[in-house]
Amino acid sequence: MTATKITPGLITSIAGVAGGNNVKEVLAMVCDGRARTVGSGTYTPQNVSAVQNITTSYADLNGTTLAYTPPSGTTSVIYDFCFNLARQSDASSETMCKFFIDSAEVTNARIYVGGDNYIGDSINLRWIIRIGDGTDTSTGRVPSWGSAKTLKWQTRAQATTTEGKAFMTRFWDGGSANHLMIPSLTITALS
């Protein structure tokens, strides 16, 4: 996987919006517990300071939970969470992730991440929330968004034989190493 530099123009292109820059704000954070201030307010990401074992029971994926209120006039919110996923001691990991807006699961956002994950994979969990045009829980469309909504992902392993570890590398500089990889969270509001 290659890294992509995100600029407002690129976000506009990704969103498929023609003509001009429609980015209202970008809240970009490393999940280190340090507050960030943008036009819509001050937000504090969760502090991810340890590896998270992914078991067969659903649990909140550390770092993903944030209560966010977009600026007035926002029509779409892009939620991006980037983290590293590796296997535990098993031969592979198989991980399911599901996205929530408040207590409602966005069922069309369900994702399965499977494979060897021997060296660890960079995973990007992304969803676009449309504001207006009614309500659709399956796609995450909301009729309006004037106060904080809590956004988060939950995760679990497919089986006890395919459990994974979030926020960990498996190797470094030619040898085995378990390093903490702090995730990042970026929320982009579009007009």
In this model, does residue 53 exceed pLDDT 80? yes
Write the DSSP symbol of residue 162: G
pLDDT, one tens digit per residue, over 162-180 is 778 888 877 677 766 677 8
pLDDT for the residue 20: 56
Please tell me the predicted confidence (pLDDT) of residue 161.
Answer: 81
Tell me what pLDDT residue 25 has. Answer: 96
| Three-state DSSP class for residue 33 | coil
- Residue 167: what pLDDT? 87
Q: Is the pLDDT of residue 89 over 70?
A: no
The per-residue pLDDT of the chain, averaged, comes to: 85
Residues 6 or more apart from 172 whose CB is under 8 A from it? 179
* Long-range Cβ contact pairs of 40-44 (< 8 A, separation 24 or more): 40/68, 40/69, 40/70, 40/71, 40/189, 41/69, 43/67, 43/68
Assigned CATH class of 22-164+174-190: mainly beta
- The residue-averaged pLDDT of 56-75 equals 96
Which residue do the tokens 């029971």 mark? 57
Given this model, what pLDDT does residue 15 score? 46
Q: How far is CA 129 from the centre of its chain?
A: 13
pTM (predicted TM-score):
0.83
Whether the Cβ atoms of residue 143 and residue 134 lie closer than 8 Å to each other: yes
pLDDT at 4: 43
**Mean pLDDT on 80-97:** 80
Q: Say if residue 124's pLDDT is above 60.
A: yes
Q: What is the DSSP string of 83-130?
A: EEEEE-SSS-EEEEEEEEETTEEEEEEEEEEEE--SS-EEEEEEEEEE
